[in-house]
């Protein structure tokens, strides 16, 4: 829901710490003069302006829940002026969800002006984008199959509460693991902090960053309780990473 959460006056929602202001989860990868995002959240426009984003070359979708797709219409400035078609990738349920929610984008007969120019691709295996290989990593978000992505020695896994056994070998030798840690209280489709820490223990990345964090977790107080190689993500966090 984002932090502050609308209407909430809890201590995290009223916190003056800028780390406690969280838009919906997404990452931007910049390499070889390209820009690829994972998910287009309802905050995409604000996030793109904040990041001075001046181009967009592809979108990878983890799944089609509202908090991960609703910014799709706002990619128009990257495609309309020059007719550039932006490729979008996801598993079958994700692409079907996009086609349902954004029917007017895919219909091809929208009479009211511009729609984002996109080409959808269902992926079942690795996809190479501009020289960087993205390996889909299947995780379970309740009953829904969600894709995480591994690129180089980094993996981004948001929105899950179970990693199926066949996905673990894809997570060997990570420098950085991003993973879901919603809150302390149990949730039917997301990881708790304790559960996420167990996965970190099992996967053994050099560093882990928790994401998809609800307003239950204050940034500073939660970080102070975590092992030193584990930290909460925060908005505009930047990392330089090696991908080979």
> Contact positions toward Zn ion, by CB under 5 A?
5, 8, 10, 13, 65, 67, 159, 215
What is the CB neighbour count within 10 angstroms for residue 127? 17
Minimal distance in Å, beta carbon 117 to Zn ion? 26
Give burial (CB, 10 Å; 0-12/13-18/19+) of 178.
buried
Minimal distance in Å, beta carbon 72 to Zn ion? 15
Nearer to Zn ion, 129 or 182 (CB): 182
Q: Which residues pair with 180 in a beta bridge?
A: 211
Nearer to Zn ion, 38 or 174 (CB): 38
Minimal distance in Å, beta carbon 53 to Zn ion? 21
What is the CB neighbour count within 10 angstroms for residue 109? 5
Nearer to Zn ion, 76 or 218 (CB): 218
φ, ψ dihedrals at 45, nearest 5°: -60, -50
Nearer to Zn ion, 57 or 180 (CB): 180
Minimal distance in Å, beta carbon 130 to Zn ion? 26
| Closest among 55, 61, 52 to 32, alpha carbons compared | 55
Nearer to Zn ion, 8 or 85 (CB): 8
Minimal distance in Å, beta carbon 141 to Zn ion? 5
Nearer to Zn ion, 138 or 204 (CB): 138
Handedness of CA 16, 17, 18, 20 (dihedral sign): negative
Q: Are 85 and 119 in contact (CB under 8 A)?
A: yes
The beta-carbon contacts of 196-200 under 8 Å, at least 24 apart in sequence, are 197/226, 197/227, 197/230, 199/163, 200/227, 200/229, 200/230
Minimal distance in Å, beta carbon 201 to Zn ion? 24
């Amino acid at each position: 829901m984002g932090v502050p959460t609308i209407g909430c006056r809890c201590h995290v929602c009223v916190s003056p710490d800028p780390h406690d202001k969280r838009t919906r989860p997404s990452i931007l990868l910049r390499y070889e003069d390209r820009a690829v995002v994972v998910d287009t959240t309802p905050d995409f426009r604000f996030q793109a302006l904040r990041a001075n984003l001046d181009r967009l070359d592809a979108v990878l979708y983890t799944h089609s829940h509202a908090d991960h797709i609703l910014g799709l219409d706002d990619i128009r400035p990257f495609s309309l002026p020059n007719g550039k078609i932006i490729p979008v990738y996801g598993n079958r349920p994700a692409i079907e969800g996009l086609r349902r929610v954004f029917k007017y984008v895919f219909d091809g007969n929208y009479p009211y002006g511009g729609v984002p120019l996109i080409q959808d691709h269902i992926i079942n295996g690795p996809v190479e984008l501009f020289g960087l290989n993205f390996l889909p990593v299947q995780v379970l978000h309740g009953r829904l199959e969600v894709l995480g992505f591994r690129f180089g020695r980094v993996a981004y896994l948001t929105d899950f509460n179970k990693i199926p056994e066949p996905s673990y070998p894809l997570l060997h030798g990570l420098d950085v693991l991003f993973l879901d840690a919603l809150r302390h209280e149990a949730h039917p489709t997301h990881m708790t902090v304790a559960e996420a820490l167990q996965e970190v223990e099992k996967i053994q990345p050099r560093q882990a960053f928790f994401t998809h964090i609800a307003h239950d977790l204050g940034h500073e107080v939660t970080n102070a309780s975590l092992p030193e190689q584990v930290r909460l993500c925060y908005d505009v966090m930047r990392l330089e990473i090696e991908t080979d």
